[in-house]
């Protein structure tokens, strides 16, 4: 806050800073306040513009994700332009001055340092590795691909190994606010496809058309008295994978879900309705039945919801392909 007001004698801690800021307002530098707060305003405008128009306009999107660089470039140029002919103690507004002596040459860390941090670094490494792989998984779910965990950990280790020779800060995956992954583009990771192909080859399955279709998935929540956000998220990912395999005609049905469990799903954005509820869009809802018997015997609702012929054919084959379903086993 001191740099925004052009004051250097600002204490540490939120309480001290709030007190010092208001106490020194009469002595604040007007030009410094103007530069500081207009910089914040520019960052906010670019951020909001990206959220509103970034998906429709590539220029706005680019300006939004590079807003920090743009702001730094603009105000560095302004600072140089107005202060280049002034002495350092007579600048028009406060300027941040950073001393730099260049990049230090790489060298092996001292053995004393390694001995001190070796045991303490284990917990840090585990935490950073878990966070790194979790974020990779989150981006994979968002952009519809499966990350290669071995590759992620290999990068994580190699990057930090070389960082240590330059006394650099340890790095790991982070959920950047400016991260962007266009859903329309094909991602580079093909780990899932390779794994499925390997499993099918092991099971001697070479004709994809011979695989048994999936038309109905029933989950009995009769013994479930609590479900957390992680479980709801994993179920959502599971259902997405099932629909990739079985098509849009796959129907998910819940059984004996309590009001509390239903509420947890609804808070996560699920549309949960009773079995006899009439809705316009069957694909957007998940129905809850009283028993497994009712869930199995109830007529299929999505057969009449405009699915393509390929999905309907898969569902119709379920009644005549029981032998194939009983004999085929694919561990995916």
Q: Could you say which of 159, 189, 209 is where a domain stops?
A: 209
- The span from the CA of 78 to the CA of 99, in Å, is 20
Together in a domain, 182 and 242: no
In whole angstroms, how far apart are CA 42 and each of 28, 69, 80, 225, 228?
Answer: 21, 12, 19, 49, 40
Q: Tell me, yes or no, whether 248 and 200 share the same domain.
A: no
Supply the Cα-derived Rg of the chain in whole angstroms. Answer: 29
The verdict on 113 and 197 lying in the same domain is yes
Does the residue 330 lie in any domain? no
Q: What kind and span of H or E run contains 93?
A: none
Domain-ending residue, one of 167, 192, 209: 209
Considering the domain boundaries, does residue 115 fall inside one? yes
**Nearest by Cα to 219 from 291, 152, 124:** 291
User: Strand, coil or helix: what is 259?
Assistant: helix
pLDDT of residue 5: 53
Q: Are residues 41 and 110 in the same domain?
A: no
Per-residue pLDDT of the chain (332 residues; tens, 9 = 90+): 455 555 566 666 677 777 777 776 677 677 877 888 888 899 999 999 999 998 889 999 999 999 999 999 998 898 889 888 888 778 887 776 666 677 778 888 888 888 888 888 888 888 888 888 888 887 777 777 778 888 888 988 898 888 888 888 888 776 654 454 444 444 556 777 787 888 888 888 877 777 778 889 999 999 999 999 889 988 988 888 888 778 878 899 999 999 999 999 999 999 999 988 888 888 888 999 999 999 999 988 765 444 444 544 544 444 444 444 333 334 43
In this structure, are 248 and 292 located in the same domain?
yes
217 shares its domain with 316:
yes
Q: What is the pLDDT of residue 303?
A: 55
- In this structure, the answer to whether residues 222 and 274 fall within a common structural domain is yes
Angle between the N-to-C axes of helices 67-83 and 58-65, in degrees from 0 to 180, rounded to the nearest 10: 70
Residues 312 and 216 in one domain: yes
Judge contact between 104 and 167, C-beta under 8 A. Answer: yes
Is there a single domain that holds both residue 61 and residue 137?
no
Look at residue 179 and tell me if it is in a domain. yes
Is the Cβ–Cβ distance between 63 and 49 less than 8 Å? yes
Residue 203 lies in a domain: yes
- Between CA 280 and CA 278 the distance in angstroms is 7
Closest CA to 261 of 232, 290, 286: 232
Distance CA 292, CA 298 (A): 10
Q: Which of 209, 226, 253 is the last residue of a domain?
A: 209
Rounded (10°) CA dihedral 203, 241, 213, 284? 180
Range of the domain at 171: 103-209
Q: Are residues 258 and 175 in the same domain?
A: no
CATH number of the domain that residue 260 is part of: 3.30.750
Query: Does any domain span residue 155?
Result: yes
Question: What pLDDT, on a 0 to 100 scale, did the predictor assign at position 98?
Answer: 65
Rounded to 5 degrees, what are φ and ψ at 69? Answer: -65, -40
Asked if the structure places residue 89 within a domain, the reply is no
Element (H, E) at 224: none
The predicted pLDDT at position 71 comes to 92
Residue 98 maps to a domain: no
216 and 305 co-located in one domain:
yes
pLDDT given at position 257: 93
What total number of domains does the chain contain? 3
Domain annotation covers residue 3: no
One domain, residues 233 and 204: no
Q: How confident is the model at residue 317, as a pLDDT?
A: 47
């Amino acid at each position: 806050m001191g740099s925004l007001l052009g004051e250097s004698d600002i204490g540490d801690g939120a309480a001290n800073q709030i007190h010092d800021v208001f106490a020194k307002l009469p002595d604040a530098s007007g030009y410094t306040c103007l530069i500081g707060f207009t910089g914040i305003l520019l960052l906010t405008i670019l951020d909001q513009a990206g959220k509103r128009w970034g998906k429709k306009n590539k220029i706005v999107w680019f300006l939004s994700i590079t807003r920090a660089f743009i702001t730094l470039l603009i105000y560095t140029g302004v600072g140089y332009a107005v202060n280049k002919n002034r002495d350092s103690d007579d600048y028009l507004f406060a300027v941040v001055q950073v001393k730099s002596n260049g990049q230090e040459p790489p060298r092996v860390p001292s053995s004393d340092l390694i001995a001190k941090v070796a045991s303490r670094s284990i917990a840090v490494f585990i935490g950073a590795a878990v966070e790194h792989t979790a974020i990779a998984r989150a981006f994979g779910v968002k952009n519809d691909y499966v990350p290669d965990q071995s590759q992620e950990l290999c990068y994580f280790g190699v990057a930090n190994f070389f960082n240590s020779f330059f006394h650099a800060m340890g790095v790991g995956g982070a959920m950047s606010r400016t991260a962007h992954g266009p859903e329309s583009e094909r991602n580079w990771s093909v780990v899932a496809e390779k794994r499925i192909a390997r499993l099918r080859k092991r099971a001697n399955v070479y004709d994809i058309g011979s695989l048994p279709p999936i038309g109905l998935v029933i989950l009995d929540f009769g013994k479930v008295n609590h479900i957390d956000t992680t479980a709801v998220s994993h179920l959502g990912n599971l259902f997405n994978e099932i629909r990739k395999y079985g098509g849009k005609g796959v129907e998910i049905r819940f059984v004996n879900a309590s009001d509390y469990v239903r509420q947890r799903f609804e808070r996560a954005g699920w549309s949960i309705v009773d079995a006899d509820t009439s809705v316009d869009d069957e694909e957007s809802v998940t129905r809850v039945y009283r028993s497994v018997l009712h869930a199995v015997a109830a007529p299929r609702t999505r057969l009449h919801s405009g699915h393509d012929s390929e999905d309907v054919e898969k569902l119709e084959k379920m009644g005549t392909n029981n032998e194939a379903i009983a004999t085929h086993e694919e561990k995916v």
